[in-house]
Amino acid sequence: MRRTPALIIGAGPAGSAAAIGLARADSRPVILERTRQTGDALCGGFLSWRTLDRIRALGVDPDRLSRRRIGRVHVFAGTREVEAPLPYPALAVSRRTLDTLMLAEAERAGAGVERGVAVRSAEAGSVVLADGTVIAPDALFLATGKHDLRGLARPTPGPGDDPALGIRVRLAPSDAMRRRIEDAIELHLFDRGYAGLAVQEDGSANLCLAVRRSRLHEAGSPEALLRAIADAAPAFGDRLAMRATGSGIDAVANVPYGWRMREGMAGLFRLGDQAAVIPSLAGEGMGIAIASGCSAAAAHAGGGPMASAAWQRRFAARAARPIRVAGLVRDLAEGPVAPAALPWLARAPFLIQLIARATRMA
Ordered domains of the chain (ranges, CATH): 2-157+256-358 (3.50.50.60)
Closest CA to 336 of 197, 224, 190: 190
How do 70-77 and 184-190 pair as beta strands? parallel
Q: What is the pLDDT of residues 274-321, one digit of tens each?
A: 999 999 999 999 999 999 999 999 999 999 999 999 999 999 999 999
Q: What are phi and psi of 188, to 5 degrees?
A: -115, 120
How do 134-142 and 268-270 pair as beta strands? parallel
Q: What is the pLDDT of residues 66-123, one digit of tens each?
A: 999 999 999 998 888 888 999 999 999 999 999 999 999 999 999 999 999 999 999 7
How high does pLDDT run on average in the chain?
92
Closest CA to 153 of 270, 58, 53, 74: 270
Q: What is the pTM of this model?
A: 0.94
The pLDDT of 215-242, averaged and rounded, is 94
Closest CA to 182 of 201, 168, 167, 165: 201
What b/e readout covers 63-93, taking b as 16+ CB neighbours within 10 angstroms? eebbebbbebbbbbbbebbbebebbebbbbb
